[in-house]
Amino acid sequence: MANDQPIYLAGKLTEDPQLRFTPSGSAVANFTIAFNPRRFDRNTNEWVNGEATFWRCEAWNQGKLTRAENICNLLKKGDSVIAQGVIETKKWQDKEGNNRSALQVNIQSIGKDLTFHGQAYAANEQPISSGANWGGNQPAPQEDPWAQPPAQNNNGWGNGPVNEPPF
């Protein structure tokens, strides 16, 4: 799998990721990413939806990497995600004995796409205001302990009278 061509997906989760364990104890997360292309039609001055594509995905834990468990704990239905993985062909026999196959993506990396995740929140879960300050709600300078300049020390390195380097 080291030489496989990567695929990059951007879309929304169609369901909550499902976590399961193999008989040997390996964890795997299964989920679907839907991609719906949009384009702007200049004739009608409106956005037009294209045909949706659904990618069935799986992500495995690998050693100490708990990728599958993290996905199931942190992502939910409707989340916009960006994922990277490789396409695999899964083959099986159905109940009637017919050979079947389907494409799926083995996810190597995934994260939330913050482009469409709504309003930004500060650490205290209050919406950041869009006031006159560029940074939103920032503490006043007197509240910031790092806002004060350090005391002047004219001994060279600033670590006492021996003037030795700090390392």
What proportion of the chain, given as a percentage, has pLDDT over 90?
A: 54
pLDDT at 52 over 70: yes
**Structural domain boundaries of the chain?**
6-114
Distance of CA 153 to the CA centre of its chain: 45
29-39 pLDDT, tens digit each: 999 999 988 88
Average pLDDT over residues 27-54: 93
Higher pLDDT, 60 or 136: 60
Report the mean per-residue pLDDT for the chain.
80
**Is the pTM for the entire model greater than 0.85?**
no
CATH 2.40.50.140 at 6-114, yes or no: yes
Strand-pairing partners, residue 31, are 57
Query: Are 8 and 33 within 8 A, CB to CB?
Result: no
pLDDT in tens, 105-155: 999 999 999 886 666 555 555 555 555 555 555 555 556 555 555 555 555
Looking at residue 120, its pLDDT comes to: 57
**Assigned token pair, 34:** 């839907």
